[in-house]
Amino acid sequence: MISLKPIILMLTDKPVWFGGLWFRKVDGAAAYAKIRPDALPLPAAWVVRSADKGEPIGERLDSDEPEFDVVIAIENARGHEPGETDEQLLKYRQAVYRLLRGEEGAPDTRPIKWRGGRVIEYTEDDLYWADRYSFEGVINNYLPDPAGFNSINRTGGTL
């Protein structure tokens, strides 16, 4: 139940140390669900929530460990050397890893953990890869303060 928008924002701007073209599009799950591969500007990345693990830790407090995938899509354009496309994918994966592991200022949470990765799809035109990450946070269910007292409401009873 913690927003992943700060993760999307972390991945949006090209880091100064990254050589080459950065993601043309970084978005969330709703955009990922509407992918049209024929009209997709690559490279692209999406942050897609995969699970929320919660546990009570006190009165109106819960620990929350959101898991999310960073889906990376690049063009499958074979170069002159075997393995060049895989090296390009690895370059993007390592950059995302570096950003999310805190070298560039992660959100105010416990460190983001890498949980592994997997192929989503390899086609003639493009490659889709997902790396799973998680982090721990604390959420609360504190009720808002009541409105300030400004008068007595008479209900017809006697004092």
What whole-number distance in Å separates Cα of residue 64 and Cα of residue 137?
5
Tokens representing 99 are 């950003």
- Give the least confident one: 1-10, 78-87, 94-103: 78-87
pLDDT at 54: 82
- pLDDT reading at 105 higher than 60: no
**Rounded to whole angstroms, how far apart are CA atoms 29 and 52?**
15
Q: Residue 76 pLDDT > 70, yes or no?
A: yes
Quick one: pLDDT at residue 56? 81
Integer Cα distance of 86 and 76 in angstroms: 9
Instruction: Provide the CA 37 distance to its chain's centre, in angstroms.
Output: 21
Average pLDDT over residues 43-60: 87
Check residue 146 and report its DSSP letter.
Answer: P
Domains and their CATH numbers in the chain: 5-140 (3.30.2000.10)
The sign of the CA dihedral 115, 116, 118, 120 is positive
